[in-house]
Homo-oligomer: A and B are copies of this chain.
């Protein structure tokens, strides 16, 4: 991790050299040790940076260029292999610093559990925070095979922390019955299967509120994102996900932080998923950091 000291790793394309002046800060959370299925997302952030070099700097969707946004890439947060609790503490500490310095956190995972300390810390900072969550999975478990620090629990944790009514999930196509029931009973929004249309209905109700956007890449169909731990058919296309990001960008919500998680390069034939991830981050930087 770096703020101002010399750094010898790749950074996301067009990152500025100066932390102080940056409006947003990109960072990686290379943790994958609580996943129950295929690990490997620890390498996601570095590969996303590497292929970002091939991105066009201009978005024909938003008619804006990366040079118009001031962001700094802090590298990956060094996390202790196999120690989930300590890793989450380190992430929380890092985010507290960013928020103190007035930065918008832009996270790259890593498994989805890394979003929990980020969302919690952002919630401590912004009253009335809402979460927009796009994912194949509910992630609403209390624990997974005895572990509460599991990649299946982050949305449950933040929903309990800020209240389930402030959490909006989209594109969900997997979970156990109890998770769906809990959401229903507690007034949490879940849109099954679809993202764009229900999101367009929700966005006007969130106008003016601070919003944290957390995207699990597996909200995409495996055809569009094979490079992830859990491949679950029936997902959305990358076109729908791009359009959903643009819908948020063009709405009246105030995005105060966002992340993209669960990119696992080892399963990523033809580098399709890492390239998609880097384009999604470009679009979010251009659309959310104003």
Contact = CB atoms under 8 A, between A and B. Distances in A.
A6 to B, nearest CB: 6
Copies of this protein, total: 6
Given A19-B4, A231-B271, A32 B39 contact: yes
A227 interface: yes
Given A60-B174, A82-B82, A1 B38 contact: no
A275 B27 contact: no
Interface in A152-207: 172-177, 180, 192-193
Given A9-B75, A32-B39, A74-B3, A231 B270 contact: yes
Interface string A248-285: 00000000000000000011111110011001100000
A23 interface: no
20 contacts: A1-B76, A2-B74, A7-B9, A7-B11, A8-B15, A8-B17, A34-B81, A34-B82, A35-B81, A56-B174, A60-B172, A60-B173, A78-B145, A80-B147, A81-B150, A81-B151, A221-B223, A232-B279, A233-B275, A234-B238
